[in-house]
Amino acid sequence: MKKKKFIKKLPAWKVKSFQKRQTKLKEILLRIFTLVVFFGLISIIFFISNLFKNSLWDGKNQINLIIHDTNQGVLFYSFHPREKVLNIIVFAADTHIPVAGGFGEYPIGNIVKLGDLEKVGGGELLRLSLQEFLAVPVEGVIVNQPDKAGNPSFNAWLYSWCRFKKSCTTNLANWDLFRLGIELKQFHAGQIKKIDFASTEFIEAKVLPDGTTISKPNYLKIDGLSLEYLSDLAVIKENLTVKVFNGTRKPGFADHVGRLLKNMGLKLINTSDLGEERQKSVLRYKNQEAKESLACQRLQKTFPYLEIEEKQDMEEDLSLILGDNFNLLH
């Protein structure tokens, strides 16, 4: 006869104790998993939010941006994504231009240092200086850090990674950098027009009566450069007209601002004095079409303090009244 095998059963209290431990372990693991998922979602939301935060470019229309590198000097990019056009103006580091804010003339390669020393932001001072010099809206600026200068990879693809690598500072959002990197990486040499500013006659040498030689910008020629290579092609197609009225005590201010509007692509009909002083600046539009135009939107983005109002009996499509709060250095 075969002997029966007896299975030793655990006492009931031990079974219950074991089951309780298993249940508790499952609850702990579930809580850990829930926390991991929660913090993972928070990280994703934060990443996406940071990616889109303070975006300066819609990805469809023109963007003007400046690339500053201690070895390469300063590159001015005018990118037209719809038309697949990329124009680049190359400034040698020793090119002297007037600095925004009344700092006088400086070599363009030293403006970032000047802005940092004056605590006004080096990249921002360079952006505003070229915006006033070339008389076109400038949205972005990328400043390559001195310790990273000379990196041969400082080109289109690096825009997407410059913040991650901490190799540059910029006012552009991560989303802007990412899209620019994707777009510009697809360009080949035949699609890019490069203009060497030094090889032109935009800066003229003039001899003063005392024999001193000074450099003076030829703004007629500079405006010709801006109109040919930096104008917004989509704004030109809108074919909108604009008038500028000076409501400040600054003589010639309407002509000064009109330069930027014309170079942007608007048809400048007239500039004149308003005849009275205004505190606030106003952008008037003739109809809904003018209000929704790219030109109107871009002016609001460039000068966000403008008040907007409708005036249907105007001859022109847009009318800009300059008040004391109007500042090209924005």
Mean pLDDT of 127-154: 76
**Cα-trace Rg, the chain:** 30
Q: For residue range 208-251, what is the model confidence (pLDDT) as tens digits? A: 788 777 778 889 999 999 999 999 999 999 999 999 999 999 99
Compute the distance between CA of residue 224 and CA of residue 219 in angstroms, rounded to an integer: 8
Answer whether residue 6 shows pLDDT above 70.
no
Cα–Cα distances in angstroms (integers) from residue 189 to residues 57, 87, 159, 183, 225, in the given order:
24, 11, 18, 14, 21
Query: Longest C-alpha distance within the chain, in Å?
Result: 133
Cα–Cα distances in angstroms (integers) from residue 73 to residues 92, 99, 112, 303, in the given order:
5, 16, 11, 28
For the entire predicted model, the pTM comes to: 0.78
pLDDT value of residue 216: 80
Q: Which residues pair with 169 in a beta bridge?
A: 143
Answer whether residue 153 shows pLDDT above 50.
no
Amino acid at residue number 294: L
Compute the distance between CA of residue 235 and CA of residue 225 in angstroms, rounded to an integer: 17
Collapsing DSSP to helix, strand or coil, 8 comes out as coil
Collect all residues with Cβ–Cβ distance below 8 Å to 133 and sequence separation of at least 6: 97, 98, 217, 222
Q: Decide if 83 contacts 115 (C-beta within 8 A).
A: no
Amino acid at residue number 113: K
Q: Which residues pair with 245 in a beta bridge?
A: 272, 321
Q: Which domains does the chain have, with CATH numbers?
A: 63-198 (3.30.420.590), 231-322 (3.30.70.2390)
Compute the distance between CA of residue 177 and CA of residue 161 in angstroms, rounded to an integer: 8
pLDDT bucket at 47, cuts 50 / 70 / 90: low
